[in-house]
């Protein structure tokens, strides 16, 4: 990983240190419940799916190169991976509507707000929006999936995220190289966009905490949660 990305990732982790406890508490509540675990995985699946659609939309009027096509395939596969495990946990077919997704509106708006901020700031090549969007979301994925993996282990759940994490880290480095090639890589932009993304993620985190299904489980005895919502 390049020194610029390592430094930016380190700063990102420092900025987000205050959110680690909140996310850990949320994920411990979610991982203790079969029902919530499934809904959360389906939420992640929806977000990976939205990410893949963003790639298709931004590249729809140009010839899609091989790296972008691989990125699209990876994001689609991640969405499938999360959906498959979500439906295994809930033992039913799940849709991407509010009944099967946690903090549905906030999860969808997370991408929209971030993309809008980038389009308002970037005046360079149009590809830069896609590349920066992908890079900044990979910062969050690398950070968040690591915390999620620890919560899964505490809950005794077998969900292998190691290869997915490795791919997210590779995407992060790939986006940096491609931004550099089009002359758009800037530490100032990275800092500005990660700050914007952190504000958006905090809104999403609050919405997840306040989702009525999560709030109800959070107030229930931890040992009772494995059967929550499955009766």
CB atoms within 10 A of CB 223: 8
Which two tokens mark 41? 């995985």
pTM: 0.90
State how far Cα 49 lies from the chain centre.
10
In this structure, what token pair is assigned to residue 59?
């590249």
Q: Report the candidate in 15, 14, 19, 13 with the shortest Cα–Cα distance to residue 209.
A: 19
Alpha-carbon distance of 137 to 198, in angstroms, equals 10
How far apart (Å, rounded) are the C-alpha atoms in residues 189 and 129?
Answer: 11
Round to whole Å and give the CA distance between 171 and 204. Answer: 23
User: Angle 162-181/127-155 helices, nearest 10 degrees?
Assistant: 160
Report yes or no: 134 and 167 within 8 Å, Cβ to Cβ.
Answer: no
Contact 41, 86 (CB under 8 A): yes
Give me the tens of pLDDT residue by residue for the chain, a chain 231 residues long. Answer: 588 888 999 999 999 999 999 999 999 999 999 999 999 999 999 999 998 888 777 665 666 788 888 888 988 999 999 999 999 999 999 999 999 999 999 999 999 999 999 988 887 666 788 889 999 999 999 999 999 999 999 999 999 898 888 888 888 888 888 899 888 899 999 999 999 999 999 999 999 999 999 999 877 655 544 443 332
């Amino acid at each position: 990983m390049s020194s610029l990305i390592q430094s930016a990732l380190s700063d990102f982790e420092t900025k987000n240190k205050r959110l680690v406890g909140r996310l850990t508490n949320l994920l411990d509540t979610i991982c203790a419940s079969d029902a919530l675990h499934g809904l959360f995985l389906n939420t992640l699946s929806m977000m990976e799916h939205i990410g893949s659609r963003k790639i298709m939309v931004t590249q729809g009027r140009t010839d899609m190169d091989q790296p972008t096509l691989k990125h699209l395939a990876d994001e689609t596969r991640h969405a499938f991976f999360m959906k498959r495990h979500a439906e295994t946990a809930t033992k039913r077919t799940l849709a991407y509507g509010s009944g099967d997704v946690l903090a549905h509106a906030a999860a969808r708006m997370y991408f929209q707000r971030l993309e809008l901020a980038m389009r308002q700031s970037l005046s360079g090549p149009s590809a830069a929006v896609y590349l920066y969007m992908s890079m900044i979301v990979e910062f969050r994925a690398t950070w968040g999936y690591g915390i999620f993996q620890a919560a899964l282990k505490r809950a005794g759940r077998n969900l292998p995220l190691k290869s997915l994490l490795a791919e997210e880290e590779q995407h992060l480095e790939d986006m940096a190289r491609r931004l550099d090639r089009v002359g758009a890589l800037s530490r100032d932009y990275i800092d500005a966009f990660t700050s914007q993304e952190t504000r958006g993620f905090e809104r999403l985190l609050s919405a997840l905490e306040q989702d009525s299904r999560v709030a109800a489980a959070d107030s229930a005895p931890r040992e009772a949660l494995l059967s929550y919502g499955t009766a």
